[in-house]
Amino acid sequence: MVRIIQRRAIAYVGSATLLVLGLIALFNWGLRLGLDFTGGSLLEVAFATTRPAIEAVDTGLAKLELGTINIQPVGERGAILRFREVSEAKHQEILTVLRQVASGDVAERRFESVGPIIGTELKSRSLWAISLSLFFIVIYIAWAFRKVSRPVASWKYGLSAIIALVHDLLIVLGAFSALGHFAGVEVDSLFVTALLTVLGFSVHDTIVVFDRTRENLFRGLGGDFEATVNQSVNETIVRSINTSVTTLLVLFTLYLFGGESIRYFALALIIGITIGTYSSVFVASPLIVDWHLLSLRGRVVKK
């Protein structure tokens, strides 16, 4: 049996390192918000022949008074243009100018337009969705483990799971902050969906480990509490890894072949599920053990 819980200090150092790097990235660079949150228009096109120079496209569109235009090359002949919110008539004018600049046909792959009010509302609702998810997860776990009040109170299982979830979210946010700074990656509504999916996957994995701990406590197996938790982790770790690997295989396929629009959604899930599997084993369960040890020390001090 692997002494995972007994060597939890190594996992704590690894988690602390990732968290510090993630927080540094977030405080220094923040997140590069996409169209869904900032408002504006996005147009993705594919040129029939050679993609014209970015400067030529920028110069050609200048007469349309679109404000600041961000042009991002995609593949060999594609481009994504971001600019202020425009009407359908202006949208068609842009396509006409692009055809003139390219001296050929231009295929429109997608066009999205979001007003600033909608973007602000979406940002607020996204924060509410994540906060409510965390709250209800605590309530559910506390209720599910209500019969396991010894040696650790049931609500502490829920709080330990939440600490692990916050750990997962901060690392994913830090990673995308760095990607936004160095690679221009933006976060949008799909990114929020990915975060909520990571929350569900991570807490599901954590509950599996906690549930095995509960079963072993009822059976009186494993000796002291630390040994019981370590036995429970060992009994479930293969299942956790197998589940995560099969999910990650699908996500890697989506990332490589799924197209530009869902590439970073898949990447967020890849990072989140990897970290979520790690935290379920190396963060949530060790926290329960340390919480128990702190309670024991508190009782000794009172005596």
Quote the CA–CA distance of 8 and 2 in Å, as a whole number.
Answer: 12
This model's pTM is above 0.85? no
Taken in order 171, 173, 174, 180, is the CA torsion positive or negative? positive
Are 225 and 165 members of one domain? yes
One domain, residues 99 and 123: no
Is there a single domain that holds both residue 105 and residue 129? no
Same domain flag for 74 and 161: no
The structure tokens listed for 88 are 């359908």
Tens-place pLDDT, residues 159-209: 888 899 999 999 999 999 999 999 888 888 889 889 989 988 888 888 888
Out of 77-86, 144-153, 265-274, the most confident range is 265-274
Nearest Cα residue to 149 out of 233, 207, 203, 218: 218
Q: What is the pLDDT of residue 132?
A: 86
Q: Which of these three, 85, 114, 143, is where a domain ends? A: 114
CATH code at position 75:
3.30.70.3400
Average pLDDT over residues 203-229: 82
- Determine the pLDDT at residue 117: 62
The average pLDDT across 94-106 equals 88
- Whether residue 190 sits in one domain with residue 287: yes
Provide the pairing of β-strand 70-74 with 40-47: unpaired
β partners of residue 82 = 42, 70
Q: What is the dihedral angle through the alpha carbons of 95, 96, 97, 100, rounded to the nearest 10 degrees?
A: 120
pLDDT higher than threshold 90 for residue 252: yes
Asked whether residue 253 carries a pLDDT value surpassing 80, the answer given is yes
179 or 158: whose pLDDT is higher? 179
Q: Which residues span the domain enclosing 62? A: 40-114
- Please indicate, yes or no, whether residues 83 and 218 belong to a single structural domain of this protein: no
* 298 pLDDT tier (thresholds 50, 70, 90): low
Residue of 40, 70, 39 lying closest to 57 (CA atoms): 70
Is residue 2 domain-resident? no
Q: Band the pLDDT of 64: cuts 50, 70, 90.
A: confident
Rounded to whole angstroms, how far apart are CA atoms 188 and 180? 12
Residues 6+ apart with CB under 8 A from 255: 263, 266, 267, 270
Q: Is residue 178 part of a domain?
A: yes
Query: Cα–chain-centroid distance for residue 129?
Result: 14
Could you tell me if residue 197 is inside a domain? yes
177 token code pair: 């902050």
Report d(CA 277, CA 168) in Å as an integer: 9
Buried b (16+ CB within 10 A) or exposed e, 215-247: ebbeeeebeebbbbbbbbbbbbbeebeebbeeb
Residue 293: its pLDDT value, please? 85
Domain contains 133? yes
Q: By the 8 A CB rule, do 6 and 231 touch? A: no
**What letter does residue 259 receive in the DSSP assignment?**
-
- Per-residue confidence band for 270, with pLDDT thresholds at 50, 70 and 90: very high
> SS3 of 258, please?
coil
Q: Do both 162 and 20 map to the same domain?
A: yes
pLDDT at 259 over 80: no
- pLDDT at position 14, please? 94
> Of 99, 114, 129, at which residue does a domain stop?
114
Domain count, the chain: 2
Give the end of a domain, one of 86, 114, 142.
Answer: 114
- Give pLDDT tens digits for 107-157: 998 888 877 666 677 778 888 888 888 888 878 877 777 766 567 777 788
